[in-house]
Amino acid sequence: MARLFPSALLEAFAPAEGQSQVVLFLGAGPSTSVGLPGWPDLVMRVAQRLGFGDDVGPAIARGDYLDAVNHLVRCTSEAEVQEVVSTEITSKTATASLRLHRLLLSIPWNGILTTNYDTLLTRADSDARYELPVSWRTSNLRQQFGRKFVVHVHGTASDPETIVLSRRSYDDISLRGGREMRQFLMTVFETRVVLFVGFAFRDQHLDDLLRDMVDVGAIGAESAYALVPSRVRADPTLEGRLRERHVRPILLPARKDRGAAAIAAWLRMSSRAITALETGRLRAVRAARPTAVLSAVREAMLDAASRNLLETALRVLPNRPDLEGWLPSSPIDRSVDWLLDRLSTSEVRSLMSHLWTIEPRPLLEDVLSAFPPESRKAP
């Protein structure tokens, strides 16, 4: 199980050069938490609208949702089922709260993938920071790279013909539009870090996709993570299944809100951490202080690290979960230099002050004299 805020993930949000390298892969969780139907409810609502609720009830009860949809398609038509699905989703989308989706968009994603039919993300993107959504039927998907893309892998309610729900439409993805979509997804997994949000990982199509990505070596050791709301502190079965797919789970506490509150809290903390990391790099002490001062800071940090004090002191810095679990590696001076590239002058002062409270030493006093407290500007 990955830490709550893996350093590699936060670093990918705010790399030393260039833009964020993290792609959001959004599942149904955030949408169902604001009133949109999940897959079982959606299939039953569509069946009832078409007059076949009793026919597909047993299949839905067994969890055979694809069989239920295939029955509806056989009794009516693919297009008619798609239209009803679109109507159901669109009617709910128009009145749904956008708070969680706006919070999702406050994170600097490189791009967004989603299996959802709804357009809540696009509605929440009032500043038009992202491109208009596209689907598996869009030609030249590779042109989306370099843009802030939003790709609906299973289609979108705004274009009913793109909605993927029956075995036939899944085959259409595989045989017609699938080759380009598969290549697009493979490139995303090979070149970006992917964070899954809102998935229960019970979708066979998603599992097949992940298995394919693993088979071709597209998913690296630290290139795929998942926020997984759970009612237990550890879920060995789920963790094992995700490990097989090279996805590192980040377990969050789940309540009756399907984990929405925990996801929101994680997003807020991550946003603050990303800002702190970016600020640390922009105002890094290495670039902001003379060589003599920097040498003294470095010496003080090396001394603290050698006495196992530095990793404890780092915990006092607010909004820096990327530094949690930091341990000096060999050679130790390289580990300290890594920190000096990421800590702002104000963070270094906080760090030195904390070390001083643990054990006053002349070296720390000399360093602190070069970092006077920042004065507050008059309003």
Query: Using one digit for the tens of pLDDT, what is the confidence trace for 114-145?
Result: 999 999 999 999 999 999 999 988 877 888 88
Does 103 share its domain with 207? yes
Residue 48 confidence (pLDDT):
96
Binned at pLDDT 50, 70 and 90, residue 2 comes out as: low
CATH number at residue 143: 3.40.50.1220
Does 85 share its domain with 104? no
Does 73 share its domain with 57? yes
- Examine the fold and report which residue of 249, 274, 299 is the final residue of a domain before the chain moves on: 274
**CA–CA distance, 17 with 321 (Å, rounded to integer):** 20
Residue 180 confidence (pLDDT):
82
Residue-wise pLDDT for 319-333, tens only, equals: 998 887 787 776 888
**In the predicted structure, residue 166 carries a pLDDT above the cut 90:** no
Question: Does 166 map to a domain?
Answer: yes
The two structure tokens encoding residue 331: 């050679």
pTM: 0.88
Residue 284 confidence (pLDDT):
84
Does 121 share its domain with 22? yes
**CA–CA distance, 17 with 14 (Å, rounded to integer):** 8
Residue 296 confidence (pLDDT):
92
Domain that residue 45 falls in: 39-93
